[in-house]
Amino acid sequence: MVPPNGQPSDEILPRSSETPGSRLSPVPIRIETRSERDEIRVPIGSDLDIVKARQEGRRVAGNVGFSLTDLVLVATAISELARNIVRYARKGEIAIRPITNSAHNGIEIIARDEGPGIKDIEQVLQVGFSTSAGLGLGLPGVRRLMDEFEIQSKLGQGTTVITKKWKS
């Protein structure tokens, strides 16, 4: 390909001329993002794992640069989520990773289980102020501790809670 000024272009042959499967053909390159690389997954199956998950969460949140107050909020939220897994689903996992958006750094906590699921999500999110009352899931409390909170649950299939906290 020669541009109008007659100078030879640096451009190599257009891709369309390549034969399929040639070594120059574009291959999908999967670029691992920082967040994926830094994701920590803690399998949850006993009360020991609850302690482990909240310690990992505290460590990751510390690396993100959260204040001491926020570290405790994050660790407490993880503790509640992990305990729900042990109590209601017996086993599952907590995934913890640093996240970023255009303005802030933060942390995402995902609690996954394949337990019985939640029949009425609205109800468990409305259970009063006391976590010892009602169903005792403590999810309204977790929602207050974190900045973003999302829950997906299917009866008989399990529950996933996704929460985020942004560094102010």
Partner 1 sequence: MEVPILKQHHYLIATVQAALTDADLLHLRDALVQRVGKFRSRGVIVDVTALDVLDSFASRTLRDIAHMIRLRGADTVIVGIQPEVAFAMIQLGLNLEGVATALDLEEGLAFLDKQTESRAVQGRPA
Q: At what angle do helices 68-84 and 47-64 cross, to 10 degrees?
A: 150
Is residue 129 near partner 1 by the rule CB under 8 A? yes
Q: Tell me how far apart the alpha carbons of residues 90 and 103 are, in angstroms, rounded to a whole number.
A: 38
Secondary structure class of 168 (helix, strand, coil): coil
Q: Is 75 in the site for partner 1 (CB under 8 A)?
A: yes
- What are the residues facing 90 on neighbouring strands? none
Among 12, 51, 123, 150, binds partner 1 (CB under 8 A): 51
Residue 14 CB, shortest distance to partner 1, in Å, is: 60
Contacting residue, 124, 145, 151, 161, with partner 1 by CB under 8 A: 145
Q: Which residue has the tokens 């030879």?
A: 8
User: Rounded to an integer, what distance in angstroms lies between the CA atom of residue 42 and that of residue 46?
Assistant: 11
Among 92, 98, 115, 138, binds partner 1 (CB under 8 A): 138
Binding site for partner 1 (CB under 8 A): 47-48, 50-51, 54-55, 58, 68-69, 71-73, 75-76, 79-80, 83, 129-132, 136, 138, 140-142, 144-145
